[in-house]
Amino acid sequence: MKQKLVVLSGVLGLIALFIGYTIAADDAFSVLEQLEKNYVGLEKPGLDTLIAKAKCSLSPQADVMVYWAKGKGVKTKVEGNGPESMMAKQMVDGFVKLTGLGMKKTSEQYNFTKDNVKTTSESATLKDGTKVTQLTIVPKEEKEAKKFEFSKIIMMVDTKEWVIRQSKITTKEGEAIVDFEYKDGLIAKMSMTSLGTTAMITNTYSTVDKFTVPANTEMSMAGKNIPDNMKKITISYSDVQVNAKIPDEIFAEPKSGDVPKPAENAPQLFQQAQQAMQKGDMETAKLKLKQIVTYYPDDPMAKPAEMMLKQLPK
User: Is the pTM here over 0.75, yes or no?
Assistant: no
In whole angstroms, how far apart are CA 63 and each of 42, 66, 86, 190?
22, 10, 11, 25
Q: Is 234 exposed, middle or buried (0-12, 13-18, 19+ CB in 10 A)?
A: middle
**pLDDT in the model for residue 206:** 95
Whole-number Å distance between alpha carbons of 101 and 28:
25
What lies within 8 Å, CB to CB, of 187 at 6+ separation is 41, 98, 99, 100, 180, 181, 203
- What is the residue-level pLDDT of the chain in tens, covering all 314 positions? 544 454 455 555 545 544 444 333 346 777 777 777 777 678 889 999 999 999 999 888 888 999 999 988 888 888 766 677 777 887 888 788 777 787 655 545 556 677 888 888 889 999 889 899 998 989 888 777 777 778 898 989 888 888 889 989 898 888 989 999 999 888 899 999 987 889 999 999 999 999 999 999 999 999 888 888 888 999 999 999 999 999 988 888 766 677 888 888 888 999 899 888 888 788 888 899 999 988 888 777 888 888 888 777 66
Whole-number Å distance between alpha carbons of 230 and 267:
24
Whole-number Å distance between alpha carbons of 189 and 169:
18
Q: Is 113 exposed, middle or buried (0-12, 13-18, 19+ CB in 10 A)?
A: exposed
**pLDDT in the model for residue 84:** 74
What lies within 8 Å, CB to CB, of 242 at 6+ separation is 47, 49, 50, 208, 209, 211, 213
**pLDDT in the model for residue 31:** 78
Whole-number Å distance between alpha carbons of 12 and 55:
19
